[in-house]
Amino acid sequence: MTILRPSKKRGDFRLKLVFIIVAVSILYGGVYIYEYNNFASLRYESEKLGKELGGQRIVNSDLRNQLYAMLSLDAESRFLTDGSLVLEPKPKYMDFRTSQ
Protein backbone atom coordinates (compact mmCIF):
# COMPACT_ATOMS: atom_id res chain seq x y z
CA MET A 1 0.00 0.00 0.00
CA THR A 2 1.21 3.51 -0.91
CA ILE A 3 0.88 6.42 1.52
CA LEU A 4 0.88 9.85 -0.03
CA ARG A 5 2.22 12.63 2.08
CA PRO A 6 2.06 16.25 0.96
CA SER A 7 5.38 17.98 0.65
CA LYS A 8 6.30 20.05 3.68
CA LYS A 9 7.99 22.64 1.50
CA ARG A 10 4.75 23.32 -0.35
CA GLY A 11 2.84 23.72 2.91
CA ASP A 12 5.35 26.26 4.13
CA PHE A 13 4.84 28.24 0.93
CA ARG A 14 1.06 28.25 1.38
CA LEU A 15 1.39 29.33 4.99
CA LYS A 16 3.73 32.18 4.03
CA LEU A 17 1.37 33.24 1.24
CA VAL A 18 -1.62 33.32 3.61
CA PHE A 19 0.43 35.25 6.18
CA ILE A 20 1.51 37.83 3.56
CA ILE A 21 -2.08 38.26 2.32
CA VAL A 22 -3.37 38.77 5.89
CA ALA A 23 -0.55 41.21 6.73
CA VAL A 24 -1.16 43.25 3.57
CA SER A 25 -4.91 43.30 4.28
CA ILE A 26 -4.36 44.56 7.84
CA LEU A 27 -1.90 47.18 6.62
CA TYR A 28 -4.30 48.33 3.92
CA GLY A 29 -7.13 48.53 6.47
CA GLY A 30 -4.98 50.71 8.75
CA VAL A 31 -4.05 53.05 5.92
CA TYR A 32 -7.72 53.26 4.86
CA ILE A 33 -8.84 54.20 8.39
CA TYR A 34 -6.07 56.80 8.67
CA GLU A 35 -6.98 58.41 5.34
CA TYR A 36 -10.70 58.38 6.15
CA ASN A 37 -10.04 60.19 9.45
CA ASN A 38 -7.98 62.83 7.62
CA PHE A 39 -10.74 63.28 5.06
CA ALA A 40 -13.41 63.62 7.75
CA SER A 41 -11.39 66.20 9.69
CA LEU A 42 -10.74 68.22 6.50
CA ARG A 43 -14.45 68.16 5.68
CA TYR A 44 -15.27 69.40 9.19
CA GLU A 45 -12.68 72.21 8.94
CA SER A 46 -14.01 73.17 5.51
CA GLU A 47 -17.58 73.47 6.81
CA LYS A 48 -16.40 75.47 9.82
CA LEU A 49 -14.43 77.90 7.64
CA GLY A 50 -17.39 78.23 5.28
CA LYS A 51 -19.64 79.29 8.16
CA GLU A 52 -17.00 81.73 9.39
CA LEU A 53 -16.66 83.17 5.89
CA GLY A 54 -20.41 83.69 5.72
CA GLY A 55 -20.29 85.64 8.98
CA GLN A 56 -17.41 87.77 7.71
CA ARG A 57 -19.36 88.54 4.54
CA ILE A 58 -22.24 89.84 6.65
CA VAL A 59 -19.88 92.04 8.69
CA ASN A 60 -18.29 93.30 5.46
CA SER A 61 -21.65 94.22 3.96
CA ASP A 62 -22.65 96.07 7.16
CA LEU A 63 -19.40 98.06 7.09
CA ARG A 64 -19.91 98.89 3.42
CA ASN A 65 -23.44 100.12 4.14
CA GLN A 66 -22.13 102.36 6.92
CA LEU A 67 -19.40 103.73 4.62
CA TYR A 68 -21.85 104.42 1.80
CA ALA A 69 -24.21 106.12 4.26
CA MET A 70 -21.38 108.39 5.43
CA LEU A 71 -20.30 109.25 1.90
CA SER A 72 -23.77 109.82 0.45
CA LEU A 73 -24.82 113.22 -0.86
CA ASP A 74 -27.53 113.53 1.76
CA ALA A 75 -24.96 113.22 4.54
CA GLU A 76 -22.78 115.87 2.89
CA SER A 77 -25.64 118.31 2.52
CA ARG A 78 -26.67 117.77 6.16
CA PHE A 79 -23.06 118.36 7.25
CA LEU A 80 -22.83 121.58 5.26
CA THR A 81 -26.11 122.99 6.54
CA ASP A 82 -25.45 121.99 10.16
CA GLY A 83 -21.97 123.50 10.08
CA SER A 84 -23.33 127.06 9.67
CA LEU A 85 -22.09 127.30 6.11
CA VAL A 86 -24.12 129.36 3.70
CA LEU A 87 -24.71 128.29 0.13
CA GLU A 88 -24.21 131.26 -2.19
CA PRO A 89 -26.26 131.30 -5.37
CA LYS A 90 -23.54 133.03 -7.45
CA PRO A 91 -20.21 132.52 -5.78
CA LYS A 92 -17.12 134.50 -6.71
CA TYR A 93 -14.25 132.14 -6.69
CA MET A 94 -11.39 134.43 -7.73
CA ASP A 95 -11.26 137.97 -8.86
CA PHE A 96 -8.30 138.96 -11.02
CA ARG A 97 -9.14 142.63 -11.40
CA THR A 98 -6.25 144.89 -10.93
CA SER A 99 -6.90 148.08 -9.11
CA GLN A 100 -5.31 151.17 -10.67
pLDDT tens digit string along 30-85? Answer: 999 999 999 999 999 999 999 999 999 999 999 999 988 877 777 677 776 676 67
Examine the pLDDT at 100 and tell me if it is beyond 60.
Answer: no
Examine the pLDDT at 1 and tell me if it is beyond 80.
Answer: no
Examine the pLDDT at 11 and tell me if it is beyond 70.
Answer: no
Examine the pLDDT at 10 and tell me if it is beyond 70.
Answer: no
CA–CA dist 45, 51 (Å, integer): 10
Q: Check residue 19 and give its pLDDT.
A: 94
Instruction: Give residues with Cβ within 8 angstroms of 64, minimum separation 6.
Output: none
Burial profile 8-35: b = 16 or more Cβ within 10 angstroms, e = fewer = eeeeeeeeeeeeeeeeeeeeeeeeeeee
pTM of the model: 0.49
Single-letter code of the amino acid located at 64: R
CA–CA dist 77, 46 (Å, integer): 47
Q: Check residue 13 and give its pLDDT.
A: 80
Q: Are 77 and 84 a contacting pair, CB within 8 Å? A: no
Question: Per-residue pLDDT averaged across 85-89, rounded?
Answer: 75
Q: Check residue 33 and give its pLDDT.
A: 97
Q: Check residue 21 and give its pLDDT.
A: 97
CA–CA dist 54, 18 (Å, integer): 54
